Amino acid sequence: MIDINIERHKTAIKRNKVSRPVSLLLESNLLTQESSFFDYGCGHGQDLTILAKNGFSKIQGYDPYYRPDSQHIKSDIVNLGFVLNVIEKPNERSETLKTAYSLANKLLCVSVMTKIQQGYEGISLGDGVLSSRGTFQKYYEQEEIKNYLESLLDKDAIAIAPGIFFIFRYEQDKLNYLQSRYKRPVILDYTRIDPISKERTRVKVFKPKLEELIKESPFFEETISFLFNHGRLPTDLESSSYKELIREFKSKTKVKSLLLENIDQDRLEQIRQSRVTDLLVFFALRKFDRKGFPKQSDLPENMVLDIKEFLGTYSNCKREAENLLFSIGNQTVMQKSFRACNLGKQLPDAFYIHPSLINKLPAPIQVKVGIAKKLVGDIDECNLLKINKLKDKVSFLVYEDFDSIAHPALLYTLVMDIPKNNVKFWEFRQRENPPILHRKDTFIDEDYPLFDKFKKLTLKEEKFGLLGHNHIGTRLNWEKFLQEEGFIIKGHQLKKL
Ligand SMILES: C[S@@+](CC[C@H](N)C(=O)[O-])C[C@H]1O[C@@H](n2cnc3c(N)ncnc32)[C@H](O)[C@@H]1O
């Protein structure tokens, strides 16, 4: 196979926007104008051109065909984007990976084509395929590339998306990144939904005295915002506003009691419980890292403070995280967790939920989904998660536009088999009669902006007896049934024909 003239450079495409890996580096705030960046195997170099146009100046690239004379420059971030998969010689692949990593001061981003993207079968060549244009492509299995990167570099390869991985040189940087990724969305809604009345009435969480102070002083506002995000008050070092308040009131104790005693205690407890869950889920997942739990000295400072506040010591935190991890193998615990979910759709064998609600679920379910994500990363388009109740499997389902289509069709699914540590891809796009979704409101909660719209449609469909029939689960059957019953759906409106 080595004698065939493989025209690797022909695999490089021209881009008018940055490649997916570069866009992920930007989105995660790892690549900033301050970082130095080296694009190893940059092809036409359009990622570099676009970055340069956007004010990035410390950027360079090398490509054996397009920029053969460029120097290899050590940089904070190195991108090895879709290069390994075009190299037909396994030894050269490993050498290329090692060279790219040796240039990365902080982070190497590796992307490859995966079996999910495989469109063309081609003629078999070595461990890949030869295309009619004389190029080589190796389509990787997700677990194959993750294992390859980890064993060659002896580092955790963090799956960001299918085929895209971040490899941090330093443990601290890895933990900082993971922490930012798993952090719960910022809670700035100072109200809570009353759990007793099923109505969506929101209860004000501050007593009038504190409401006044918040209005009067931005320092109160900022300190409260910290409290709501962390479930604890800041240290003087973490918040200058808090420091300012202590100075103003001349007493830490006074400020503390003003803040803590004038807040709805249920809401505060709810936030604190969520923080404990966040920490335990985070550490249960760290147990799966190449070297297991991180050393305490590598933990970000704010995490050390969180552990102290909520779990006492790091040893206790690790013990509880371990218990949580083991609990997911216990059917009784899992069934109890599923029963405790007052969100999502329950079927006897599976639980379905919109991915945006994952961190509102009981900790064992979050861990299960987290383990699946460790292999596949985030699937941006995923709009439904299916957690198998009987087997250790989690599926990432991708439907057509969840927000704008009333009954979106299934496009594809990725099914993660946890004990086998592999992912299977199921394609539905070519199907004439794909499965579709009904009752979209059951997968989300009231905080979802389109909840009311979805709910109204479901209620109307129920009222006219359109739901609850086995045969309506696929598009053609549903459309035929609607027509027979004399209805049509426009947007999210059910109309009589
Ligand atoms: C699919 S292109 C990707 C280009 C660019 N990274 C992007 O994402 O647009 C693969 C590139 O890898 C380059 N390449 C092939 N063998 C390489 C090697 N051993 N080291 C570095 N780059 C290589 C090719 O010349 C080609 O431009």
Domain CATH for 31: 3.40.50.150
Same-domain check for residues 219 and 149 = no
In a domain, 453, yes or no: yes
In a domain, 157, yes or no: yes
Cα–Cα distances in Å, from 483 out to 409, 458, 462?
Answer: 18, 17, 16
260 pLDDT above the threshold of 50: yes
190 pLDDT above the threshold of 70: no
**Strand partners of residue 277:** none
Phi, psi of 270 (to 5 degrees): -60, -45
Same-domain check for residues 17 and 157 = yes
> In the chain, how long is the greatest CA-to-CA distance?
81
Distance from residue 208's CA to the centre of ligand 1 (Å): 63
Same-domain check for residues 15 and 162 = yes
Please give the mean pLDDT across all residues of the chain: 92
Mutate to test the pocket of ligand 1, among 17, 42, 59, 83 (most ligand atoms within 8 A of CB): 83
Q: What digits encode the pLDDT tens for the residues 424-436?
A: 999 999 899 999 9
Query: Please, which residues have CB within 8 angstroms of residue 475's CB and are 6 or more apart in sequence?
Result: 407, 409, 433, 434, 435, 436
Query: Please, which residues have CB within 8 angstroms of residue 206's CB and are 6 or more apart in sequence?
Result: 190, 214, 262, 263, 264
Whole-number pLDDT of residue 211: 84
Give the start-end residues of each E strand in 311-358.
Answer: 345-346, 350-353
Same-domain check for residues 39 and 141 = yes
Query: Please, which residues have CB within 8 angstroms of residue 433's CB and are 6 or more apart in sequence?
Result: 474, 475, 476, 477
Q: What digits encode the pLDDT tens for the residues 145-181?
A: 999 999 999 999 999 999 999 999 999 999 999 998 8
Q: At what angle do helices 171-182 and 265-286 cross, to 10 degrees?
A: 140
Give the start-end residues of each E strand in 200-249.
Answer: 202-204
What percent of the chain lies above the pLDDT cut of 90?
A: 76
Pocket residues: Cβ below 6 A from ligand 1: 8-9, 11-13, 19, 40-43, 63-66, 81-83, 86-87, 92, 96
Distance from residue 332's CA to the centre of ligand 1 (Å): 50
SS3 state of residue 446: coil
Same-domain check for residues 251 and 150 = no
Whole-number pLDDT of residue 184: 62
Residue that terminates a domain, selected from 230, 245, 263: 263
Identity of the residue numbered 9? H
Per-residue pLDDT band for 206 (boundaries 50, 70, 90) equals: confident
Q: What digits encode the pLDDT tens for the residues 464-475?
A: 999 989 889 999
Q: What digits encode the pLDDT tens for the residues 315-350?
A: 999 999 999 999 999 999 999 999 999 899 999 999
In a domain, 477, yes or no: yes
In a domain, 302, yes or no: no
Containing structural domain, residue 66: 8-169
Q: Indicate the pTM of the whole model.
A: 0.90
Same-domain check for residues 403 and 468 = no
Whole-number pLDDT of residue 1: 47
CA quadruple 461, 466, 467, 471: dihedral, nearest 10: -150
* H or E stretch at 129: strand 128-130
As a whole number of angstroms, the distance between CA 353 and CA 390 comes to 17
Same-domain check for residues 433 and 461 = no
In a domain, 86, yes or no: yes
What's the sign of the alpha-carbon dihedral 197, 198, 199, 204?
positive
Other CB atoms within a 10 A radius of the CB of residue 161 amount to 18
Same-domain check for residues 435 and 452 = no
Task: Work out whether strand 104-111 and strand 123-125 pair parallel, antiparallel, or are unpaired.
Answer: unpaired
If we measure between CA atoms, which residue out of 343, 276, 326 comes closest to residue 303?
Answer: 276
Distance from residue 169's CA to the centre of ligand 1 (Å): 23
Same-domain check for residues 352 and 459 = no
Distance from residue 114's CA to the centre of ligand 1 (Å): 16
Distance from residue 42's CA to the centre of ligand 1 (Å): 6
25-29, 256-260, 262-266, 403-407: segment of lowest average pLDDT? 262-266
Angle, alpha carbons 395-277-338 (nearest 5°): 45
Residue that terminates a domain, selected from 263, 286, 312: 263
Residue that terminates a domain, selected from 244, 263, 282: 263
The predicted model gives 33-45 an average pLDDT of 98
- Nearest-CA residue for atom 8 of ligand 1: 81
Domain tally, the chain = 4
Distance from residue 45's CA to the centre of ligand 1 (Å): 10
Contact 394, 386 (CB under 8 A): yes
Same-domain check for residues 78 and 151 = yes
In a domain, 319, yes or no: no
Identity of the residue numbered 445? D
Which ranges constitute the DSSP H helices of 104-201? 142-153, 171-182
SS3 state of residue 348: coil
As a whole number of angstroms, the distance between CA 86 and CA 112 comes to 9
Contact 434, 456 (CB under 8 A): no
Per-residue pLDDT band for 66 (boundaries 50, 70, 90) equals: very high
Cα–Cα distances in Å, from 4 out to 7, 65, 118, 132, 389?
Answer: 9, 17, 22, 13, 50
- Nearest-CA residue for atom 2 of ligand 1: 12
Task: Work out whether strand 128-130 and strand 384-388 pair parallel, antiparallel, or are unpaired.
Answer: unpaired
Same-domain check for residues 414 and 462 = no
Whole-number pLDDT of residue 267: 82
Same-domain check for residues 74 and 106 = yes
